[in-house]
A and B are shown apart, each in its own frame.
Chain A
């Protein structure tokens, strides 16, 4: 990938470039994808550990214990986060909280708008009926994944209540959905990419970063090796 140059210029047909552009002179919506730039490192491994610990305590406090709680992670990173929350609750509360994994691919509303592939097997080890299900994901954005998860969950039983825990709430909801437990509220631009990396799923150090497409005249940008946005989090 070429780092952004910051130099402006007309594109080949003479129109003004949009905000997100690449040095090749093509718009971000054209065939050439934008160059992504890291804007900020939001949470490092220590901060993430504290976030997990705090959310784990909040879940237990809200539900007056953890006996009725089932943590259900949404693939892929939500499952890892759910396991970490369960470990934390086990450590300070001495209760083993069941952890499930939910694949929402077949419940999404953008099937046929983009290639939607399942990310893993749905496995919820206990009957959810009568329990409090805490859905767990890494980033809450449009709310469409959570909407699909609520439908998928309905077919597994009738929980007493469903709550939602996320590491990052980045706004831009398109549905009336909110999180009960939030690691960090993060104002973002719609085109930004919040990149969560966890040891279990990414084989790297834990960390959350904010990336965005390079704008013109971008002196403050912090160019880094650019893996591109995660296709599972891209919007159609």
Chain B
């Protein structure tokens, strides 16, 4: 594997091998010295054209725990403010001798273009409303350690602004690839015009599906992507699609709750629910580092560029 741009780059076997590798790195991240020399001398650049806390820190932590050198890039203090194009920026960075670019961009498909322009490996850390493959993989890793190796038959609902969510797109395909039964739950205004090609069913009524679910995956209401109003008010959204304390009480006792963060507490999820025993939200963050170590190791080490 040379790049990780989309969940669709991986088949079930490929996903399972990455999860297996990530399980080894989970053990590494729990050691007193959570670091291995596996990718000594490799240089990873994090190229974030959009704000991020957890994804960026998670990737940089993962790279450092593999003994990579990590160069950060922040758009605000770079030549991008002087009008440098994306192509010139990445080719300049590559000329310094790098092995991988971890990239977030507001334009869907930007990492795919960069992968055509440079020889280094490219990891998509979120491209617009398109894909966020490492989020989907870390979610699978989290479920694997709670439900078991396969998700065959598990009923998972992804709830919220599907239209604007790269997490939903990557997640739906990844969950389905491991055999889960995925339902998208959203008002019609928050769904894409068509879900043809998505391995999912669609519902507009959270209360109707709630009692059957094994996993409720809540999406953040992305105020920064709402160019037009998709819902009358946040209060109305919460009333119909929020995982309130009352709704959480109607879940099956063994149902699990996930959220990619950052949370709007009191909007898509009640604070008490987010911190309750069914919530995997903290585990998702912890698994993010191990999962990203596996991705970087697979791209820069294990495959040796031959795969």
Contact = CB atoms under 8 A, between A and B. Distances in A.
B38 A106 contact: yes
Interface stretch (A16-24, A41-49, A113-121): A113-121
Contact of B301 (A116, A151, A155, A156): A116
A90 to B, nearest CB: 27
Interface in A131-160: 151, 155-156
Instruction: Count chain B CB atoms within 10 A of each CB in A118, A121, A156 and give the residue with the most.
Output: A118
B21 A111 contact: no
B304 A103 contact: no
Interface in B65-119: 66
Instruction: Count chain A CB atoms within 10 A of each CB in B23, B24, B27, B300 and give the residue with the most.
Output: B24
A124 to B, nearest CB: 10
A225 interface: no
A112 interface: yes
Contacts of B28: 106, 122
B232 interface: no
Interface stretch (B4-12, B29-37, B198-206): B29-37
Contact of A112 (B32, B66, B305): B305
B37 A103 contact: no
B307 interface: yes
Contact of A115 (B31, B32, B302): B302
B144 to A, nearest CB: 15
B302 A111 contact: yes
B299 to A, nearest CB: 11
B14 interface: no
B307 A121 contact: no
Nearest to B67: A106
Given A106-B36, A121-B27, A115 B21 contact: no
Interface string A89-130: 000000000000001011100011111111001100000000
Nearest to A108: B38
Interface string A146-176: 0000010001100000000000000000000
A111 B39 contact: yes
Contacts of A118: 21, 24
B223 interface: no
Contacts, number: 47
Nearest to B66: A106
Interface residues of A, number: 17
B146 interface: no
A126 B33 CA distance: 16
Interface in B286-307: 297, 300-307
Contact of A107 (B33, B36, B307): B36
B28 to A, nearest CB: 7
Nearest to A155: B33
Nearest to A127: B32
A116 B302 contact: yes
B38 A115 contact: no
Instruction: Count chain A CB atoms within 10 A of each CB in B28, B32, B37 and give the residue with the most.
Output: B37
A118 B250 CA distance: 42
B146 to A, nearest CB: 18
Nearest to A111: B301
Contacts of B66: 106
Contacts of B33: 155
Contact of B304 (A106, A115, A121, A156): A115
A103 B20 CA distance: 14
28 contacts: A105-B38, A106-B36, A106-B38, A106-B297, A107-B36, A107-B37, A111-B39, A111-B301, A111-B302, A111-B304, A112-B300, A112-B301, A112-B305, A115-B303, A115-B304, A115-B307, A116-B302, A117-B302, A118-B21, A121-B24, A122-B27, A122-B28, A122-B31, A151-B37, A155-B33, A155-B35, A156-B31, A156-B32
Considering the complex of A and B, which 6 residue pairs feature the smallest CB-CB distances, nearest first? A106-B36, A118-B24, A106-B38, A112-B304, A155-B33, A111-B301
